[in-house]
Amino acid sequence: QVQLVESGGGSVQPGGSLSLSCAASGSIFSVDLMGWYRQAPGKYRELVADITTGGSTTYADSVKGRFTISRDNAKNTVYLQMNRLKPEDTAVYYCNADITLPEGNEYDYWGQGTQVTVSS
């Protein structure tokens, strides 16, 4: 059984920083693309950032220059450093990973979500 376990998040004032982490565990052959999505109340879930095994990254325009995604392949863990947070960054943040199982099939997995609230 594969799990994505997130940690981090919380509440912060505008301009502050938070960091998120997400570790994949279980019967895993390889962890491929990893990323972070977010969903604000009444809105669709959107990509925040993702990162390939080789370290290539993609960011939503709204977070470029403020957020940094990174990963530790040895630990099957992805991180999101969020700086200069804005109220509009308030959302539930979800970790996502494409994981290949020992049987050879690749599946898409999601974390449980963690709340990030930016408010004065």
Residue 109 has a pLDDT of: 98
- Dihedral of CA 51/25/96/77: which sign? negative
Longest dimension (CA), the chain: 49
Residue 108 has a pLDDT of: 97
**How sure is the predictor about 30, in pLDDT bands with cuts at 50, 70 and 90?**
very high
**How sure is the predictor about 105, in pLDDT bands with cuts at 50, 70 and 90?**
very high
Average pLDDT over residues 26-51: 97
Average pLDDT over residues 63-67: 98
Cα 100 to Cα 27, 36, 94: the distances in Å are: 9, 18, 19
Residue 44 has a pLDDT of: 97
Residue 117 has a pLDDT of: 98
The 8-class DSSP code of residue 29 comes to: S
Residue 55 has a pLDDT of: 96
CB under 8 Å to 39, separation ≥6 — which residues?
A: 45, 46, 91, 92, 94, 113
The 8-class DSSP code of residue 66 comes to: T
C-alpha count within 13 angstroms, C-beta hemisphere, residue 119: 7
